[in-house]
């Protein structure tokens, strides 16, 4: 009987340790995220943004090295800090980089969300907006937080970018 109790306790603590470790790997983000590139009204390409369990940033002041290392989207356990990166090529082979970040703005419960779009030539677009709540909450409402229209490839073809959350 003593052996059964010891085995039961061993099994119980092993399983509870596994579930605690699994909960630590859960992201604050609860949806599926895509960067949709619209070339024309009838053509859209969706690039999935995988949810990252580890912070993808290398904090460095060396501008020759990349600041964000992994494509995907990350949100801290508390939902306050958000980082994301998606690199892609347009239909003419131009190299683009999409970055999103969110962080608390004040102690009154406001946050700021920043979207940067870079081309090989330099920054093309920056959008900053504030809202009441956490950055992670804004990404969990299943409504697109932004849309960037009027972008051009090097061959002067127009396209737009929107984040799709579902």
In this prediction, residue 18 carries a pLDDT of 45
Q: Where are the alpha helices (DSSP H) in the chain?
A: 2-24, 135-139
Residue 35 lies in a domain: yes
Residue 2 lies inside a defined structural domain of this protein: no
Residue 112 CA to residue 45 CA, distance in Å, equals 28
pLDDT, position 48? 94
Interval 69-98: pLDDT, tens: 688 999 989 999 998 989 999 888 889 999
Q: Is residue 15 part of a domain?
A: no
Cα distances (angstroms) measured from residue 130 to each of 2, 28, 99: 61, 20, 17
The number of domains in the chain is: 1
pLDDT tens-digit readout, 29-57: 989 999 999 987 778 899 999 998 877 65
Question: Does residue 8 sit within a domain?
Answer: no
Is 16 inside a domain boundary? Answer: no
User: What tokens does 15 get?
Assistant: 């399983």
Q: How far is CA 126 from the centre of its chain?
A: 16
Q: Which domain holds residue 124?
A: 27-165
Q: Which residues touch 132 (CB under 8 Å, ≥6 apart)?
A: 109, 110, 111
Record the pTM.
0.73
Question: In this structure, is residue 83 part of a structural domain?
Answer: yes
């Amino acid at each position: 009987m003593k052996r059964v109790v010891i085995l039961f306790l061993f099994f119980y603590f092993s399983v509870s340790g596994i579930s605690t470790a699994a909960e630590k790997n859960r992201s604050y983000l609860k949806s599926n995220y895509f960067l949709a590139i619209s070339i024309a009204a009838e053509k859209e390409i969706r690039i999935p943004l995988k949810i990252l369990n580890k912070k993808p940033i290398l904090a460095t002041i060396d501008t020759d090295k990349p600041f964000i290392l992994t494509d995907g989207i990350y949100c801290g356990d508390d939902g306050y800090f958000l980082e994301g990166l998606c690199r892609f090529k347009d239909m003419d082979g131009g190299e683009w980089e999409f970055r999103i970040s969110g962080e608390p703005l004040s102690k009154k419960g406001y946050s700021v969300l920043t979207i940067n779009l870079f081309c090989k030539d330099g920054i093309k677009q920056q959008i900053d907006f504030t809202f009441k709540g956490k950055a992670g909450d804004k990404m969990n409402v299943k409504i697109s937080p932004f849309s960037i229209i009027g972008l051009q490839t090097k061959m002067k073809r127009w396209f737009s970018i929107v984040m799709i959350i579902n």
